[in-house]
Amino acid sequence: MRKIYIVGNWKLNKTPEETVQFCRELKSNLKKVPEGMVVGISPTHLALESAIREMKGSGMLVGAQSGYWEASGAFTGQVSMSMIKAVGADFCLIGHSEQRQFFGESDESVKKRTETALAIGVLPIVCVGETLQERETGKTDAVLERQIRQGLTGVKITSGCQLVVAYEPVWAIGTGKTATPEMAQDAHAYCRRMLAKVFSGPIAEEISIQYGGSVKPDNAKILLAQQDIDGCLIGGASLKLDSFLGIINA
């Protein structure tokens, strides 16, 4: 059985103090993570350590939003995957569309980050997804194929549990527009077929594929009911306790 990953992507939001406050409230409202589910948050690098300290023993995960493949050196502005590991992060988002769009993330750099994360024991959550223009010109499958093939071919895993993929149509991120459950299911099934080509059928069956893009408490249930949707990566709605808990409870 694939695990259901419910992960908050906080982007550039919440100071360390606000992070600690949220973690305390989350812990007191979610005493036990439901069976078969993984719940996680990803604050900014600056708040990572305090979130990890606060969430210790809660059964919930804390991860980073990005990590550089080189461990150290002359790379101004970067935080390395090994530093993230050193403070105790469980996972790292890789290839988020905002990283691709604004900070030059490519399929090649996605692959380097993924290999580094695996090598040091941080769970990679690899994000893929098409833009509105790509969808409207019928390129969705081609884009997903390219992102999965170029980002993951040659990456060594022995089990699908070592990797999570997030399908996030760029046009649905932060826009209030969500893919219909059918659209999302089709894209997820396609991603799984590509993962089967890159890894193997059995490994692809084990990989949890999250949906992301304007997930809210009122659309989470129908999305999560789809056969190939194994969780959600949540931006806006993960910043408020009520809506984050609403999605977990859905």
Instruction: Report the candidate in 21, 145, 69, 94 with the shortest Cα–Cα distance to residue 29.
Output: 21
The position carrying tokens 């993570």 is 33
Question: Rule CB under 6 A: is residue 168 a binding residue for ligand PGA?
Answer: yes
Question: Rule CB under 6 A: is residue 20 a binding residue for ligand PGA?
Answer: no
Q: Minimum CB separation from ligand PGA for residue 215, in Å?
A: 5
Binder to ligand PGA among 152, 173, 224, 250 (CB under 6 A)? Answer: 173
Question: Rule CB under 6 A: is residue 213 a binding residue for ligand PGA?
Answer: yes
Whichever of 95 and 235 has its CB closer to ligand PGA, that residue is 235
Binder to ligand PGA among 40, 43, 169, 212 (CB under 6 A)? Answer: 212
CA distance 248 to 6: 7
Question: Rule CB under 6 A: is residue 164 a binding residue for ligand PGA?
Answer: no
Q: How many CA atoms lie within 13 A of 145 on its CB side?
A: 7
CA distance 105 to 181: 28
Instruction: Report the candidate in 114, 109, 45 with the shortest Cα–Cα distance to residue 78.
Output: 45
Q: Minimum CB separation from ligand PGA for residue 73, in Å?
A: 29
Contact criterion met (CB below 8 Å) for 230 and 204: no
Question: Rule CB under 6 A: is residue 215 a binding residue for ligand PGA?
Answer: yes
Contact criterion met (CB below 8 Å) for 41 and 7: yes
User: If you count DSSP H runs as helices and E runs as strands, how many of each does the chain have, helices first?
Assistant: 11, 8
First to last CA, the chain: 19
Which residues face 61 on adjacent strands? 40
Which segment (14-22, 49-57, 155-163, 228-236) binds ligand PGA by CB under 6 A? 228-236
Q: Minimum CB separation from ligand PGA for residue 49, in Å?
A: 22
Length of the chain: 250
Q: Minimum CB separation from ligand PGA for residue 232, in Å?
A: 8
Question: Rule CB under 6 A: is residue 134 a binding residue for ligand PGA?
Answer: no
Q: Which are the catalytic amino acids?
A: 96, 168
Q: Minimum CB separation from ligand PGA for residue 43, in Å?
A: 14
Question: Rule CB under 6 A: is residue 250 a binding residue for ligand PGA?
Answer: no
Question: Rule CB under 6 A: is residue 62 a binding residue for ligand PGA?
Answer: no
Which residues face 211 on adjacent strands? 167, 232
- Residues binding ligand PGA (CB under 6 A): 9, 168, 173-174, 212-215, 233-237
